[in-house]
Amino acid sequence: MIILGIETSCDETAAAVVQKSGNRVTILSNVVASSAVLQAKYGGVIPEQAAREQIKAIIPVIEEAISRSRLAISQINAIAVTYGPGLIGSLLVGVETAKTLSLVWNKPLIPINHLVGHFYANWIAGAPAFPCIGLLVSGGHTDLVLFKNHGKYEYLGGTRDDAAGECFDKCARLLSLPYPGGPQIAKLAQKGNPKAFDLPRPMIDSKDFDFSFSGLKTAVANLLKESSPKTAYLAASIQQSIIDVLVKKSVQAVTQYKVKTLIVAGGVAANQKFREELWAALPEIPISIPPVDLCTDNAAMIASAAFFQKPVKNPLTIQADPNLALTT
| List of residues contacting Zn ion (CB under 5 A) | 138, 297
φ/ψ of 83, rounded to 5, equals: -115, 5
**Residue 183 binds which one of ligand KG4, Zn ion, none, with CB within 5 to 8 A depending on kind?**
ligand KG4
Q: Find the shortest distance in angstroms from Cβ 34 to Zn ion.
A: 12
The partner residues of 7 in beta bridges, in order of sequence, read 14
**Residue 182 binds which one of ligand KG4, Zn ion, none, with CB within 5 to 8 A depending on kind?**
ligand KG4
4 touches 98 (CB < 8 A): no
**Residue 180 binds which one of Zn ion, ligand KG4, none, with CB within 5 to 8 A depending on kind?**
ligand KG4
**Residue 271 binds which one of Zn ion, ligand KG4, none, with CB within 5 to 8 A depending on kind?**
ligand KG4
How far from the centroid of its chain's Cα atoms is residue 135's Cα?
Answer: 10
Which residue, 44 or 131, is less far from Zn ion as judged by CB? 44
φ/ψ of 241, rounded to 5, equals: -60, -45
What count of other Cβ atoms lies within 10 Å of the Cβ of residue 23? 8
Which residue, 192 or 266, is less far from Zn ion as judged by CB? 266
10 touches 139 (CB < 8 A): yes
**Residue 269 binds which one of ligand KG4, Zn ion, none, with CB within 5 to 8 A depending on kind?**
none
Which residue, 66 or 262, is less far from ligand KG4 as judged by CB? 262
Q: Find the shortest distance in angstroms from Cβ 182 to ligand KG4.
A: 2
**Residue 294 binds which one of ligand KG4, Zn ion, none, with CB within 5 to 8 A depending on kind?**
none
At 320, the amino acid letter reads A
3-state SS track over 189-212: HCCCCCCCCCCCCCCCCCCCCCEC
Q: Find the shortest distance in angstroms from Cβ 71 to ligand KG4.
A: 27
Q: What is the dihedral of CA 33, 150, 262, 85, to 10 degrees?
A: 40
Q: Find the shortest distance in angstroms from Cβ 98 to Zn ion.
A: 17
Which residue, 25 or 186, is less far from ligand KG4 as judged by CB? 186
Q: Find the shortest distance in angstroms from Cβ 263 to ligand KG4.
A: 14
**Residue 181 binds which one of Zn ion, ligand KG4, none, with CB within 5 to 8 A depending on kind?**
ligand KG4
**Residue 8 binds which one of ligand KG4, Zn ion, none, with CB within 5 to 8 A depending on kind?**
none
Which residue, 253 or 294, is less far from ligand KG4 as judged by CB? 294
Residues at the contact surface with ligand KG4, assessed by CB under 6 A: 10, 138-140, 165, 168-169, 180-183, 186, 266-268, 270-271, 296-297
Q: Find the shortest distance in angstroms from Cβ 77 to ligand KG4.
A: 27
Which residue, 94 or 180, is less far from ligand KG4 as judged by CB? 180
1 touches 24 (CB < 8 A): no
280 touches 305 (CB < 8 A): no
Burial of 168 (0-12, 13-18, 19+ CB in 10 A): buried
Q: Which of 55, 52, 6, 50 is nearest to 32 (CA)?
A: 6
Strand blocks (E) in 184-307:
261-265, 287-288
φ/ψ of 252, rounded to 5, equals: -60, -45
Q: Find the shortest distance in angstroms from Cβ 229 to ligand KG4.
A: 20
Q: Which of 299, 307, 304 is nearest to 108 (CA)?
A: 307
Q: Find the shortest distance in angstroms from Cβ 138 to Zn ion.
A: 5
